[in-house]
Amino acid sequence: MEVHNVELVMSAVAPAQYPTTGYPEIALVGRSNVGKSSLTNVLINRKSYARTSSQPGKTQTLNFYNVEDQLYFVDVPGYGYAKVSRREREKWGKMIETYLSTRPQLKGVISLVDGRHAPSDDDIAMYNWLRYYEIPVLIVATKIDKVARGKWNKSESLIKKTLNFSEPDKFLLFSAQTKMGKDQVWQWIERRMED
């Protein structure tokens, strides 16, 4: 999709605030600082539309981005950030779980993992959870520009093995810096929108 118009329509914490337009939705999940906002910006051809920061845990609400009046990207706050209180973490968990398990418009989830490391326990738990709810998943291993090209295959195998990854889910290597993988992410999204 060639994107020209994007608008942040809603920062929601509860279902009453979700948009009512009915467009298909693609959610982005992953630990704090993994690069969800950066991926969003690459997909919509903007430098800094979705807020990126070196400060983990910045995104606290479900942010719905209206893309070309055709779909929403839902930027989900990052998990695994140690500095938030337990109470806040529980609140966060409920908000995400409610959204991901009850939203009919949700067509798929892009689950980001750090391409440099084995997935964390939180990454594994998230993937198992998405599988349990039978939500189509695209695993995106990001920051791959920081991994030497000769090690890309090894990174892919390690991530797939650690997650116990299986079809029909998809896997891609990505970099927000070089935009590697951008077209393939879009292809996956467009296929998901047709379902």
List residues near ligand GTP by CB under 6 A: 30, 32-38, 52-54, 56-59, 77-78, 142-143, 145-146, 175-177
For Mg ion, the binding residue among 18, 26, 30, 37 (CB under 5 A) is: 37
- The burial of 98, by beta-carbon neighbours within 10 Å (0-12 exposed, 13-18 middle, 19 or more buried), is given as middle
Closest approach of ligand GTP to the CB of residue 104, in Å: 25
Q: Work out whether 63 is an interface residue with Mg ion (CB under 5 A).
A: no
CB of 160 to ligand GTP, least distance (A): 19
Phi (first) and psi of residue 7, to 5 degrees: -145, 130
Q: Cβ 52 to ligand GTP, closest distance in Å? A: 3
Q: Is 38 in the site for Mg ion (CB under 5 A)?
A: no
Query: Interface with Mg ion includes 59 (CB under 5 A)?
Result: yes
Residue span binding Mg ion (CB under 5 A) among the ranges 56-64, 101-109, 117-125, 175-183: 56-64
Of the pair 3, 164, the CB lying nearest ligand GTP is at: 3
Contact yes or no for 108/79 (Cβ under 8 A): no
Among 142, 162, 138, which residue's Cα sits nearest to residue 152? 142
Task: Return the number of the residue (40 or 156) whose C-beta is nearest Mg ion.
Answer: 40
Q: CB of residue 69 vs Mg ion: minimum separation in angstroms?
A: 23
d(CA 144, CA 115): 5
How far is the C-alpha of 147 from the C-alpha of 145, rounded, in Å?
A: 5
Separation between Cα atoms, residue 178 and residue 188, nearest integer Å? 19
Dihedral sign for Cα 73, 79, 81, 87, please.
Answer: positive
Helix (H), strand (E) at residue 99: helix 86-102
Nearest approach, Cβ of residue 52 and Mg ion (Å) = 6
**Amino acid, res. 164:** N
Question: Stretches 52-60, 106-114, 116-124, 128-136: which one binds Mg ion (CB under 5 A)?
Answer: 52-60
Which residues form the interface with Mg ion (CB under 5 A)? 36-37, 59
